[in-house]
């Protein structure tokens, strides 16, 4: 993916309960992020497979170019504070 290393990108797919939970939690954080549906973006799906051992495991989140596969909100926010604090 030609992603900007300074952004937070949440890769998700419809019907995924883990995605729904994380996306709902993120709405209350004030974090600036982009959501990408991997079922509508083959390049995004390929990126997720490249960082998730060949699987389309979602949610996968990119924080300043670092991939977090199925992170908890706490783990995601810790990564943002460390690698992309300007997104908070």
Q: What is the pLDDT of residues 50-85, one digit of tens each?
A: 999 999 999 999 999 999 999 999 999 999 999 999
**pLDDT band at residue 2, thresholds of 50, 70 and 90?**
very low
Q: Strand, helix or coil at 73?
A: helix
Q: Is the CA virtual torsion 6, 88, 39, 71 positive or negative? A: positive
Burial of 53 (0-12, 13-18, 19+ CB in 10 A): exposed
Residues 11-23: tens digit of each pLDDT: 999 999 999 999 9
Quick check: bond before 83 cis, omega within 30? no
Residue 4 has a pLDDT of 56
**pLDDT band at residue 5, thresholds of 50, 70 and 90?**
low
Match domain 8-87 to its CATH number in 3.40.1190.20, 3.40.630.10, 3.40.30.10, 3.40.640.10: 3.40.30.10
What are the residue boundaries of the structural domains of the chain, listed by start? 8-87
Please give the DSSP secondary-structure letter assigned to residue 86: G
Residue 7 has a pLDDT of 86
């Amino acid at each position: 993916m030609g992603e900007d290393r300074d952004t937070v990108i949440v890769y998700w797919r419809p019907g995924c309960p883990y995605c729904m939970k994380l996306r709902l939690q993120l709405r209350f954080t004030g974090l600036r992020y982009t959501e990408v549906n991997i079922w509508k973006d083959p390049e995004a799906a390929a990126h997720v497979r490249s960082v998730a051992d060949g699987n389309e495991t979602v949610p996968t989140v990119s924080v300043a170019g670092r991939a977090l596969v199925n992170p908890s909100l706490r783990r995601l926010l810790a990564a943002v504070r460390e690698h992309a604090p300007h997104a908070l």
